[in-house]
Structure 1
Amino acid sequence: MRKLNVVMNGVTGRMGYRQHLVRSVLAINHQGGVTLSDGSRVRLEPILVGRNEVKLRELAEQHGIQRWTTDVDEVLRHTAERGVYFDAQVTSAREKSTLKAIEAGWDVYTEKPTAETLESALHLARVATEAGVRHGVVHDKLYLPGLIKLKRLIDGGFFGRVLSIRGEFGYWVFEGDWQPAQRPSWNYRAEDGGGITTDMFCHWSYVLEYLFGPSKAVTARAVTHIPTRFDEQGTPYEATADDAAYGIFELADGVIAQLNSSWVVRVFRDELVEFQVDGTEGSAVAGLRRCRIQHRAATPKPVWNPDLPVTERFRDQWQEVPDNADLDNGFKAQWEDYIRHVVEDTPHPYDFLSGARGVQLAELGLRSSEEGRRIEVPEVTL
C-alpha cells in the first residue's frame, strides 16, 4: 500500500481536530485508505504541527500518531518524502506557512479563507500554480447531503427557471460569561482575522458559484450586535469583528440570492443552515442533510386572510427527497477527492483561485457595508 505524508498544521483547534484529523484523515485510514481508480489504496501518514507542545503530545498519544512537532519549518524542510501540507490555523497565520510549504515542494490543501486579503489570496494562487504544486481549498458545504440532493434537482431541471435563493445560517454563540462560548474568541476580533462576513461569504461564494453561477454584484450589511464578549479565561474583551452579516447577491439571468449569517440568532428551523430555492416549475428547501420539494403541479393555493386562523400545515405539503445513496462526512469526502487529485491528477476545481474568489466576495461585502451601497463583483484571474 502506498503511503502519503500529510503535515497537519492547526490540529489543536476545533475544526482542525474534529473534522480534519479525526473525521477525515484518521477515518480514511480506519477504512483502509483512499481508494484509487485502479483499486489500490493510499494510506495517510499524519504529522501533527501546532504551537502547544502539551496538546500536540496528548493528541498524538491519544490517536497513536508517531510524528508531531512545534517547528513547521523543520518538518517541511527535512521530511524526506514530500506529500501534502494542510493548514487549519487562524487566518492571519495561514499565508506565511502555506508559502513555506509551496517553496519546499509540498502540495497544499487549506481551510478557507486562504488569506486575509484578495491580493494575498491571488498571490498564493499564482505562486502555487507557478511552482507546479497541487493546491486545494476546503469547500465542505458542497459535500453536504442536503446540497448534493439540491444539485441533483438542478441537474435534472426540476426548478425550470430559477428565480431566487434564500438562505439562513447560524445559531446563538454564548457571550462567554455565564456559559462558555462555542467558538474561540479570536472569531470576534478583527485584528486576529475574525468576523462572520470573512468566514461565511467565502462559503457563499462557492455554494452560489457551483450550484447557480458566480455572484455579479453584492449588497451587504455587516453588524457587531454584541460589543463585549468574554475570552477563554473569562476576561471581557471588545468584539471588534462583525457577528452577523446580511447579504443580497445578484447572479446571472436575474437570479437573486438573500443569505443571512449570524452568531446571534436563536434557531427556529429544522437545521442550522437552510436554503430555499424557488423556480418557475418548483421549489426546494435544503439543509445539512434533508431536502424537501414542492412541484408546480402540487403547489397549493394559499389565500391571505388575517381574519381567520390558518388551518393548513404548510410544511406537510412538501415531499422529501430520498437519500438514494450513503453519503459520507463532507470534509472526509473532499479529502478523498483531493488525495486522488494529488496522486492520480484527477480534476479538482476547488483550488486556490476558487478560494481567492471567496476572499474577494468577503472583501466586497465588507466594503458594501462600510459604504452603504451595491458593489459589482469583477472577474478575478491569475
Structure 2
Amino acid sequence: MDRRTIGIVLNGVTGRMGYRQHLVRSLLAIREGGGLPLRDGTLLWPEPILVGRDDARLRAIADRHGLTEWTTDLGAALARPDVEIYFDAQVTNVREKAIRAAVAAGKHIYTEKPTAGDLAGAVELARLADAAGVKHGVVQDKLFLPGLRKLDRLVKGGFFGRILSIRGEFGYWVFEGDWQPAQRPSWNYRTADGGGITVDMFPHWHYVLEQIFAPVRAVTAHVTTHIPRRWDESGQPYEATADDAAYGIFELDGGVVAQINSSWAVRVYRDELVEFQVDGTEGSAVAGLRNCRIQHRSTTPKPVWNPDLPATEQFREQWQVVPDNEEFRNGFQEQWELFLRHVVEDEPYTWDLWAGARGVQLAELGAQAAREGRRIEVPELGA
C-alpha cells in the first residue's frame, strides 16, 4: 500500500499536553497503527518535527521515540518545504506570534487553546489564516470525552424534552507547592505568562455549550484568586497574580441557563473531576469524563422535604447508567485524524480559528463581567 508522508511542526512538545496527548497518544499512535488510511487507499504517515527552546529535552524526546527531526529554530522549521502543518501547544502568551509566522509561511494551522491572549489577537489570526487560504483547526478535546459523547447522544435523541438548565462542576485542589509539589506549572498562576482559570477553562465551556446545547448569548461571572501565594518548580515563593477560580452563569439560546464552577482550590467530592448535570422536562442526566447516568420523567421519585427525619432514600441508586454502545478511542487522536483528513482530503472540519476566537471572546467577556459586576451579552463575531 502506498504511503504519503506529511511533515508536522510540533511546537511546545516538551510540555505535558504537547508530549503526552499530541505526540505520544496521537501522532505516534497513528504511526504505530501503520498510518492513517485515506479514501484512495494511501496511508498518511505523520512525520513530526519537534520544536522548543531546550535542545537537550527535545533530543531526549526524539531519542526516546526514534525520531530524527528537532530544532530550537522555529523559522528554519517553517521554511522547510516538506512541512505542511504547524501545531502549537506552547504557553498562551507566545502562541499568537508563532501562529502568525506559520500562517505567513503558508502552513496549515492546528493549535491548542486559547488561540491568543485577547479577542483582538484571536480574531486577527482567524482573518489572516482565511486570507492566506490555509486550513485551520483548534483542539476541542472535551467534545470527545466518552461521558460528553453520551450526553450529546441524549440531546440529539430528544431524551431531555425541553432543556431547562445545566450545572457544571470542574476542578480539584492544586497544591500550593510549599509542602507538596504543585500538579500544575507555576505559569498557570501568573497573569503575565497567560495564566488564569478563566482564560483556560471558559473557552472549553464555550465549545461544550455551543456544540452540544446552544450558542451562548450572555454571561455573568465572579472571578477570584483564592490562593494568593504559591511556590514554583524551584521551591521559590511567588505571588499568584492570575485567578484560580471562576464561577460563571451562561445564558443560552432557548432560555437554557448554564452554571459552571471552575476551581483549582476545591477538594473533590464527586465521581469525576468534571461533571455536568442537565435537567429537562422529560429527564435529567449527570455526565462526567467517562460515565453518564440518567433519570427519566417516568422513573423520577417523589422526595419530600422533612428536616426532622434522616433521609432514607439512596438518591444515587435511583439513576440508570448509560451504556457505552461503542468503543471510545483517545479523543486527541480522533481529532488529529479528523484534521489530517481535512487538510489532505478536504473533509469538513468546523472547529477552526473562528471557533477558537469565540472561546477567547467568552473568557474575555466573563472577566469583564466579573470586574464590572454585571451581565454582559455576547455579540456575534464577524469575519
Partners of 1:38 and 1:172 lie apart in 2 by: 49
Output the amino acid matched with 1:290: N
Alpha-carbon offset, residue 82 of structure 1 = 3.0
Percent pairwise identity: 68
TM-score normalised to the size of structure 1?
0.99
Contact 2:138 2:351 in 1 (8 A): yes
**What is the match of residue 34 of structure 1?**
36
Output the amino acid matched with 2:145: L
1:297 aligns to what SS in structure 2?
helix
Partners of 2:377 and 2:153 lie apart in 1 by: 30
Partners of 2:370 and 2:299 lie apart in 1 by: 40
**What is the match of residue 162 of structure 1?**
163
Output the amino acid matched with 2:197: I
Output the amino acid matched with 2:277: Q
Alpha-carbon offset, residue 214 of structure 1 = 1.1
1:7 aligns with 2:4: no
2:364 aligns to what SS in structure 1?
helix
Output the amino acid matched with 2:369: S
Alpha-carbon offset, residue 332 of structure 1 = 1.0
Contact 1:86 1:108 in 2 (8 A): yes
Within 5 A, what are the aligned runs for 1:1-382?
Answer: 1-77=3-79, 79-382=80-383
Partners of 2:41 and 2:366 lie apart in 1 by: 45
1:253 aligns to what SS in structure 2?
helix
Alpha-carbon offset, residue 40 of structure 1 = 3.1
Change (3 A) 1:298 1:38: farther
**CA deviation profile, 1:324-346 (whole Å, cap 9, x unmatched):** 11111111111111111111111
Contact 1:82 1:105 in 2 (8 A): no
Alpha-carbon offset, residue 316 of structure 1 = 0.5
Alpha-carbon offset, residue 81 of structure 1 = 1.8
Contact 2:248 2:260 in 1 (8 A): yes
Partners of 1:292 and 1:32 lie apart in 2 by: 37
Alpha-carbon offset, residue 60 of structure 1 = 0.6
Partners of 2:4 and 2:300 lie apart in 1 by: 54
Contact 1:213 1:252 in 2 (8 A): yes
Change (3 A) 1:312 1:38: farther
Contact 2:246 2:261 in 1 (8 A): yes
TM-score normalised to the size of structure 2?
0.98
Alpha-carbon offset, residue 38 of structure 1 = 3.9
1:364 aligns to what SS in structure 2?
helix
Runs of 5+ unmatched residues, structure 1: none
Partners of 1:206 and 1:71 lie apart in 2 by: 33
**CA deviation profile, 1:244-292 (whole Å, cap 9, x unmatched):** 0000000011100000000011111111000000000000011101011
Runs of 5+ unmatched residues, structure 2: none
Contact 2:9 2:83 in 1 (8 A): no
Alpha-carbon offset, residue 41 of structure 1 = 2.1
Output the amino acid matched with 2:332: F
1:148 aligns to what SS in structure 2?
helix
More displaced 10-residue stretch of structure 1: 355-364 or 26-35:
26-35
Partners of 2:258 and 2:350 lie apart in 1 by: 23
Contact 1:353 1:381 in 2 (8 A): no
**CA deviation profile, 1:3-31 (whole Å, cap 9, x unmatched):** 11110000001111111111111111111
Change (3 A) 1:37 1:317: farther
Output the amino acid matched with 1:7: V
2:219 aligns to what SS in structure 1?
strand
Alpha-carbon offset, residue 39 of structure 1 = 4.1
Alpha-carbon offset, residue 304 of structure 1 = 0.5
Partners of 1:260 and 1:333 lie apart in 2 by: 28
Output the amino acid matched with 2:163: V
Contact 2:12 2:51 in 1 (8 A): yes
Give the aligned length.
Answer: 381
Partners of 2:39 and 2:284 lie apart in 1 by: 37
Partners of 1:371 and 1:62 lie apart in 2 by: 50
1:83 aligns to what SS in structure 2?
strand
Alpha-carbon offset, residue 54 of structure 1 = 1.0
